[in-house]
Amino acid sequence: MKGSFSAETRVGREGVTVTLDDLKEKMANFAEERDWDQFHSPRNLLLALVGEVGELSEIFQWKGEVPRGLPDWQEQEKLHLGEELSDVLLYLIRLSDVCGIDLGKAALRKLELNAQKYPVHLCKGSSQKYYQIHNSKDDVPQNGV
């Protein structure tokens, strides 16, 4: 429904579920209602996305390493982080839509490619890049597996 920005109420095991398609539709409606499609060229959306990534980076800029779950962060800091993460996600979804890319399918394909590039038997516990892994270890599974 146009003009509605409440989360879809599909309830799964972990609560409300919002899909990439839900967000894509909401972003398209949001832009259409404001006549912003004229400004949403791939280039402009990419530059907006880069700007939002910069704002997200600023949050972490002087914090050093931060533990998972952000246990020492105040609730207002976490709220701000959520807003900036959302800005990045929404621009990415809008950019993929305007470019005609099914982001969900592209992400699944990329995960499959990464699984091939980083086989468990060669990279488990390592932060090396794929070219380092393949050059530093045999491409043969350990223990004959």
pLDDT one-digit tens code per residue, 69-127: 999 999 999 999 999 999 999 999 999 999 999 999 999 999 999 999 999 998 889 88
Distance CA 41, CA 116 (A): 34
Residue 14 has pLDDT above 80, yes or no: no
Domains of the chain, first to last: 19-62+73-101 (1.10.287.1080), 102-134 (no CATH)
Confidence of residue 11 (pLDDT cuts 50, 70, 90): low
How far the first Cα of the chain sits from its last, in Å, is 53
| 85/8 Cα distance (integer angstroms) | 19
Is residue 2 within 8 A of residue 29, CB to CB? The reply is: yes
